[in-house]
Structure 1
Amino acid sequence: MEVIKIHHPYKQSQIPTDEVVLVLGFFDGVHLGHQKVINTGKEEAIRRGKKLAVMTFNHHPSVVFKKVDHKKMKYITTTDQKIKRMEALDVDILYVIEFTSAFASLEPQDFVDQYIVGLHAVAAVAGFDYTYGKADIASMDLLPDYSKNRFDVIEVPKQQFGDEKISSTNIRKMMAEGNMEGANAFLDYPYELSGMVVHGDKRGRTLGFPTANIKIAQQSLLPVGGVYAVKICVAGQWYMGMAQIGFNITFESNRPMTIEVNILDFDEDIYGEQVSVQWCHYLRKEMKFDGIDSLVAQLKKDEEDTREYFTYKGVL
């Protein structure tokens, strides 16, 4: 897959000359709904004998339109994770557009001329609610008018899972409630965070539950704080684990938030390793204990519940 990063205005030399079927969207999470849009584009590209191109943005449009602090924006998938998901979906060309004020100020017709026709699209594919400016003048209903018969427009209807709309908003809501099974069903894959193992206070080792302290990308969205059954990939090998997102409130107040994973049946020094953590099942909220003994007793119960969960899922 060719990844092309574009800062508006682009140079024509950056754009491949091939005609493409172009899929449009932000695609945070690349969830089942997004996959339906992309696969619709793929089917059309195969039918026409063209390459499949996808256009996305480096950050959410609200950073520009609503002046949201980009440092506070949290994403279900970072740009790097999104690239990997797109590659797995057999996308040929991925355009990552820097969503700047200059790009945001494009009139709908200019966007269509420069970023659909200009990218040599013979067909544009997007979800029913895709917009390319203010919704009242830049909706999917109006895109055929702006196309001026230069490309076909394919609109993908709302996708549902049962009675629920498959959307990034609903996935975020589920994660905020600890409903990882629901979120993962909408994503069609286990929610995953990646980062480096860094030094912590090493207290877990003294309790008999050593943990890997994971430093993740600042933009990554975290599930609600608490204890989870997880899978963790170390050096290409997946292991079961129990993880906590929290502040270790038993020992002292006003501690920084940490992500710590106790890897089951594992005893290696992995500081500096890049790891990935899949969030499978919420076990409980973070708790403050009245002493070490009660904390260790709960950790033993957490390990038992984690093994039971993975046994039920057929991992053990």
Structure 2
Amino acid sequence: MEIIKLRHPYKPEEIPVGDCVLVLGFFDGVHRGHQEVINTGKKIAQEKNLKLAVMTFNQHPAVVFQQVQSKPIKYLSTLRQKEERMAELGVELLYEVAFTSSFAALNPQDFVDQYIVGLHAKVAVSGFDYNFGKDQAADAKYLPKYGKDRFEVVIVAKKTEEFETEKISSSRIRRLLSEGRLEEANHLLGYIYEISGTVIHGEARGRSLGYPTANIQVPDDMKLPKEGVYVNQIKVGDEWYPAMGSIGHNDTFGSNRMLTVEINILDFNQQIYGEKVSVRWYHMLRGQVAFESVEGLIKQLEADEQATRAYFDHL
């Protein structure tokens, strides 16, 4: 897959020659709804013998529009993770457009002229809720109007679960993660939710309890599941290991402590400080509890370990 990073205004020579099917969207998390849109474009590209291209942005549009006091954006995927998902789906060209204030100021016609026609699209594919142009004033149904018969438009309908009306969306998945409903979130994603980070030094308290943990420094803008204890896998190097993880403030050892992500890797005894790792989130075992004694915490950790091993035994 070729990745082309564009900053407005781009130079025409930055755009590869040749026509394409262009799929439009931000695609945070590249969930099953997104996959439906991309696979629709892929099928058309194969039928028409065209390249499959996707245009996305380097950051969420809300970053440009949000006020200082607004809630910060929490992503389901890093740009690198998004690239990996796109490659797995068979995307041949990935345009990553820098979503800046100058790009956001493009009126709908200029957006279509420069970022659909200008990218040599013969077919533009989008979800039903795609918006474009200044203040995102135009939606997908206006693409034919601004396209002026220069390309075909295919709009993919809302994807829902059977017997449901709520669409599969990134915001819905974030809500499920916030509620600790991992199985449901993973089902809508179509894969196990994953975050990446760096192993850093912590207080080494887990080691004294008999449960040493890898403390993971996670980017501030990544969405974390609800505080609690989880069944995980962690990727160190090229290998995935079973693990149990904790998101919380270690309230047993005092109040007003920093939020940490700590992973206890089962049957593992290596020093991995400074390693870049990925963590998968399978199942929430329990919420966070402030234990009255260290002995009570250790007893609970033993039960958590047994539950984690049993989970993988039945996976």
Fold similarity call, TM over 0.5: yes
Q: What stretches of structure 1 move > 2 A for 4+ residues in a row?
A: 65-72, 133-137
1:141 matched residue in structure 2: 141
Distance 1:140 1:297, change over 3 A: same
* Paired amino acid for 2:216: I
CA-atom RMSD in angstroms: 1.5
Q: For residues 68 and 123 of structure 1, do their structure 2 counterparts lie closer, same or farther at Cα, with a shift above 3 Å needed?
A: farther
Q: Which consecutive unaligned segments of at least 5 residues does structure 2 have?
A: none
Quote how far apart the aligned CAs of 1:148 are: 0.7
Range that drifts further, 70-79 or 237-246: 70-79
Structure 2 equivalent of residue 288 of structure 1: 290
TM-score after normalising by structure 1: 0.96
Q: Match of 2:81?
A: 81
Structure 1 gap ranges (5+): none
Judging changes above 3 Å, is the alpha-carbon distance between structure 1 residues 94 and 67 closer, same or farther for their aligned structure 2 residues? farther
1:240 aligns with 2:238: no
Percent identical among aligned pairs is 55
Partner residue in 1 for 2:212: 210
Distance in 1, Cα, partners of 2:124 & 2:159: 18
Aligned counterpart, 2:129: 129
Give the match for residue 198 of structure 1: 200
CA deviation map 1:207-239 (0-9, x unaligned): 110101111222211011110000111111111
On the 8 A contact 1:71/1:218 being kept in 2, the answer is no
Shift of 1:65: 2.3
Displacement, 1:67?
Answer: 3.4
Offset at residue 70 of structure 1 (A): 9.6
Counterpart for residue 55 of structure 1: 55
Deviation at 1:254, TM superposition (A): 1.6
Map of 2:37 onto structure 1: 37
Aligned length: 313
Q: Are 2:123 and 1:110 equivalent residues in the alignment? A: no
Deviations 1:140-196 (A, max 9, x none): 211111111100000000001221421111101110110110000000000001111
Q: TM-score, normalised by structure 2?
A: 0.96
For residue 252 of structure 2, give the secondary structure of its aligned residue in structure 1. Answer: coil
Change (3 A) 1:136 1:234: closer
Q: For residue 72 of structure 1, give the secondary structure of its aligned residue in structure 2.
A: coil
Q: Please tell me whether the aligned partners of residues 28 and 75 of structure 1 are also in contact (alpha carbons under 8 angstroms).
A: yes
Whole-angstrom distance in 2 between the partners of 1:68 and 1:141 = 32
**Alpha-carbon distance between aligned partners in 2 of 1:49 and 1:70, rounded to the nearest angstrom:** 45
Deviations 1:251-290 (A, max 9, x none): 1222111100111111111111111110000011111011
Q: Which residue of 1 aligns with 2:93?
A: 93
Aligned to 1:167: 169
Residue 280 of structure 2: aligned partner: 278
Which letter maps to 1:94? L
SS at match of 2:290: coil
